[in-house]
Amino acid sequence: GKRVGQYELKSKLGKGTFGTVYLGKHIPSKNKIAIKMISRQGLRADQQNRLEQEIVCQRSVDSEYVVKLIDVQKTDNNFYLILEYCSGGDLGQFITQNGPVEESIARRWMQHIIEGFKALRAKNIIHRDMKLQNILLTEASTSATLKLADFGMSRFLDDDLAQSWLGTPLYMAPEMFRWKEGYDAKADIWSLGVVFYEILTGEAPFNAKRREEIPHAQKKLKSLPANLSPLCQDLLTRMLSYDPKTRISFEELFEHPFILPPKEDEY
């Protein structure tokens, strides 16, 4: 395949909004890596800016639960982000192929995702594009480790509330549709709540056939599956609180009894 620096491009792994992601090889070590190729042609100034944010944010996080950005290469035509390879693909593919998972698996997966978010919080980063397609698996099985990916919409949260309108409508928090209001890290929690609901049920938590219907549909969520434990239902309900003020915070989320592993002295 094509060579870029010390890397060789192989088969295509996925395609997103700007980038095409390839399986690749670090030639000296023969290690597998993923290569996200972004064409420089027609890249607008704001898109270039966002790419820079993606690089700075992803580089600054160091966690087992966040995909590592290993290297960046630039040629006349393209940017290449060299990423830690996750052979299990993304959660969207996994749920499509295997269907929703049991609560015990969803719990472990949420523990991974939330560990990843702890690392983001430590650097004051909001992700803003949390969805099944942006969470990767280290292997194609329920025992995989999950890793947060795609920092293309992320930024450091300063004192100002963010106001840009971006993300994927299905996962956008209610307050993001009312963009004049501004939104903060709690918008990530809403998106994560949608992810949580999807991995448990294989469906979105509200009924909307078209994106225009989403802001209204978000006001009336589907009822939760009755087979879920009370703690699981409590967490889901609090993550998908319409009002960001009453929505669970990250600090509370990290301590929620559904997420917290049992203390050793409880055995």
Comparing CB distances to ligand ADP, the nearer of 134 and 218 is: 134
Assess contact for 110 and 148: CB atoms under 8 A.
no
Using CB under 6 A, pick the residue from 86, 114, 162, 239 that binds ligand ADP.
Answer: 86
Q: Is 188 a catalytic residue?
A: no
Q: Is 167 in the site for Mg ion (CB under 5 A)?
A: no
SS (H, E, C) 17-79: CCCEEEEEEECCCCEEEEEEEEECCCCCHHHHHHHHHHHHHHHHCCCCCECCEEEEEECCCEE
Comparing CB distances to ligand ADP, the nearer of 21 and 239 is: 21
Query: What is the C-alpha separation between 59 and 36, in angstroms, rounded?
Result: 15
Q: Is 85 in the site for ligand ADP (CB under 6 A)?
A: yes
Residues in contact with 42: Cβ distance below 8 Å, sequence separation at least 6, in sequence order: none
Residue 265 token pair: 């002295």
Question: For ligand ADP, which stretch binds (CB under 6 A), given 84-92, 101-109, 165-173, 238-246?
Answer: 84-92
Q: Is 134 in the site for Mg ion (CB under 5 A)?
A: yes
Residue ranges in contact with ligand ADP by CB under 6 A: 13-14, 16-19, 21, 34, 36, 67, 83-86, 89-90, 133-134, 136, 149-150, 152
Q: State the catalytic residues.
A: 129
Residue ranges in contact with Mg ion by CB under 5 A: 16, 134, 150, 152
